């Protein structure tokens, strides 16, 4: 269950959720953390002013995306409200798990008030630290968000499984480990104290004794058995609104916004969503099983590469020694190339192992979390998070798609030393392909006449060399960041033309492409330099200033 721990931690504080609330985007936050990241917005963006102008009637008013400047992982690490004159640019903080959050824009609540009861400044806005979706709070403040009691129950069980043994509450000196708990007395007993203080006779014979772990869980879970409506705090959830995908009470149906919506029985929808989540988990479980088998295959490949490398080096040394002094200088160069090929293969396989291990750990954690959620007997609490979990399970299953569980590197060293040339040609000695039936394709050729830039986008075209006899299964196009930085993949596929959008204006990019097949990847093509336009203008025709082959 250790992989599930990340699912149980708040993206803001990095600790286990405390009194978690569910945002409309289905992500969770601690109630205290939600208050800490509130930001006050201008009066013109408040829900009241929007309703007065007739621009919207929803409970949650989302901010326009163009008014929020949220930088990606490659930027300077700062966030600001670009459209608000009253909100100065402030550096954002990073939580322990790496998610950027905004610092609190108002003083913390008084010590005697809980985060939910403390007054929230008018026109407050909250931004989800995971999906960066922003919304303006209504008059209810944080109380308008439902509490995730299912998540609280899962955290309690998880912490219970890792907690130390419970001690007897009646031992006078050194407390012994408790063996039972009486639900009626609410006391933990060791065996001697139970026989002495709680004999199984008389009125105590009807008391129910349970294991200590079960007793502590029942202690913690008992206050959260009642599920109340967020709009009508005195009413329990009784139905499920199909349109809004949330549990509702009977007052919501009679006088609230759900009066004209389709509703279904809470228990029936609870069972239906549990069944859907279980079915989705079956597919994800198969993917996880395949991933485990794939990891075993990759680890075996590491050993195979090691063995093949040793064997290949021994053969190479033997052949080079046969050529005596004339081959000694060349022998060192060939050994260096073999070692480089060896390290390259190991690096590719180990990188794939690392990537697959991380993805498998995340998948396993999500599976364990979902299984724990399925154990919950609270229909309304389950239905609050079931849709989001089902989507996450399907999305995670799609990530294990075609090609993910395929090795990127072969274990064979497809090189052989040709020792047939005469001694006077020894300076031309080089490796040749061992398996002529499966060589790598030749490096593609960029077609300058078809490459061009248009505003902040670039179109590139390439082809295989005319005399190439090795077919390519696909191509990998790489671009740098426009500042001479590292190259990154922007396209992988079978097409020989690609348009890259979203580039920076007035920037110089370097582009290159390589081909690949089952054997491996080719060398890179010549690097092409592209210059984007200074602003929105007509299409740029390729010229010596904009397209230069290196």
State the pLDDT at residue 214: 73
What pLDDT shows up at residue 547?
46
Quick check: do 1-41+119-164 and 445-531 share a fold? no
pLDDT in tens, 393-405: 999 888 887 778 8
Instruction: Give pLDDT, residue 483.
Output: 86
Regions of the chain with pLDDT less than 70: 1-2, 40-122, 161-165, 215-227, 256, 323, 325-328, 418-430, 432-438, 535-550
How many residues are there in the chain? 550
The pLDDT of residue 529 is 92
CATH 3.30.40.10 fits 1-41+119-164, yes or no: yes
Note the pLDDT of residue 118.
58
> How far from each other are the two terminal CA atoms of the chain, in whole angstroms?
53
C-alpha to C-alpha distance for 500 and 460, rounded to whole angstroms? 8
CA-to-CA distance for 497 and 61, rounded, in angstroms? 42
3-state SS, residue 395:
helix
pLDDT of residue 467: 75
**How far is the C-alpha of 322 from the C-alpha of 419, rounded, in Å?**
9
CA-to-CA distance for 251 and 257, rounded, in angstroms?
Answer: 10
Q: What is the dihedral of CA 31, 35, 39, 40, to 10 degrees?
A: 120
Contact 79, 102 (CB under 8 A): yes
Strand runs (DSSP E) across 352-472, as ranges?
415-417, 431-433, 445-446, 452-454, 457-463
pLDDT score, position 68: 36
CATH code matching the domain that covers 445-531, chosen among 2.60.120.10, 3.40.50.1370, 2.60.40.10, 2.40.160.60:
2.60.40.10
The structural domains of the chain, with segments of one domain joined by +, span 1-41+119-164, 278-401, 445-531
Question: Which residues, at least 6 apart from 47, have a Cβ–Cβ distance to it below 8 Å?
Answer: 61, 136, 137, 138
Cβ(441)–Cβ(522) under 8 Å? Answer: yes
Q: For the chain, what is the largest distance between any 2 Cα atoms, rounded to a whole number of angstroms?
A: 108
């Amino acid at each position: 269950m250790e992989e599930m721990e990340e699912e149980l931690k708040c993206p803001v504080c990095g600790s286990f959720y405390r009194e978690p609330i569910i945002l409309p985007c289905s992500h969770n936050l601690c109630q205290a953390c939600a208050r800490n990241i509130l930001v006050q917005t201008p009066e013109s963006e408040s829900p009241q002013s929007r309703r007065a102008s007739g621009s919207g009637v929803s409970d949650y008013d989302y901010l326009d995306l163009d008014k929020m400047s949220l930088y990606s992982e490659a930027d300077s690490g700062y966030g600001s409200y670009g459209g608000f004159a009253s909100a100065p640019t402030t550096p954002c903080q990073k939580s322990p798990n790496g998610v950027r959050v905004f610092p609190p824009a108002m003083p913390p609540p008084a010590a005697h008030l809980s985060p939910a009861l403390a007054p929230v400044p008018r026109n407050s806005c909250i931004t989800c630290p995971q999906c960066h979706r922003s919304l303006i709070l209504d008059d209810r403040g944080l109380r308008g968000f439902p509490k995730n009691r299912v998540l609280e129950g899962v955290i309690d069980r998880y912490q219970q499984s890792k907690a130390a043994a419970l001690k007897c509450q009646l031992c006078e000196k050194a407390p012994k480990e408790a063996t039972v708990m009486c639900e009626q007395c609410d006391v933990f007993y060791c065996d001697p104290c139970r026989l002495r203080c709680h004999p199984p006779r008389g009125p105590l014979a009807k008391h129910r004794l349970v294991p200590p772990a079960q007793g502590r869980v029942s202690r913690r879970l008992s206050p959260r058995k009642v599920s109340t409506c967020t709009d009508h705090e005195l009413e329990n959830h009784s139905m499920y609104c199909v349109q809004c995908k949330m549990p509702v009470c009977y007052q919501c149906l009679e006088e609230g916004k759900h009066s004209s919506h389709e509703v279904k029985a809470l228990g029936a929808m609870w069972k239906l969503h549990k069944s859907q989540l279980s079915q989705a988990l079956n597919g994800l479980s198969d993917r996880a099983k395949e991933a485990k088998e794939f990891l075993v295959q990759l680890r075996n490949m590491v050993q195979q590469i090691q063995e093949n490398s040793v064997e290949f080096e021994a053969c190479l040394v033997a052949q080079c020694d046969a050529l005596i002094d004339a081959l000694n200088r060349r022998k060192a160069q060939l050994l260096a190339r073999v070692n480089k090929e060896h390290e390259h293969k190991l690096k590719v396989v180990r990188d794939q192992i690392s990537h697959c291990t991380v993805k498998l750990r995340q998948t396993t954690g999500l599976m364990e979390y979902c299984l724990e959620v399925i154990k919950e007997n609270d229909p309304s609490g389950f239905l609050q998070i079931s849709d989001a979990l089902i989507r996450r399970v399907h999305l995670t299953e799609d990530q294990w798609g075609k090609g993910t569980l395929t090795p990127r590197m072969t274990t064979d060293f497809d090189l052989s030393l040709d020792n047939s040339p005469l001694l006077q040609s020894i300076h031309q000695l080089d490796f040749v392909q061992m398996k002529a039936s499966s060589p790598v394709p030749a490096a593609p050729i960029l077609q300058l006449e078809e490459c061009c830039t248009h505003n902040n986008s670039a179109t590139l075209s390439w082809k295989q060399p005319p005399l190439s006899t090795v077919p390519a299964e696909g191509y990998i196009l790489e671009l740098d960041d426009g500042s001479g930085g590292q190259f990154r993949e922007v396209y992988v596929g079978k097409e020989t033309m690609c348009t890259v959008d979203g580039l920076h204006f007035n920037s110089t990019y370097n582009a290159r492409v390589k081909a690949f097949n089952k054997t491996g990847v080719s060398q890179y093509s010549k690097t092409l330099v592209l210059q984007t336009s200074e602003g929105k203008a007509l299409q740029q025709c390729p010229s010596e200033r904009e397209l230069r082959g290196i």
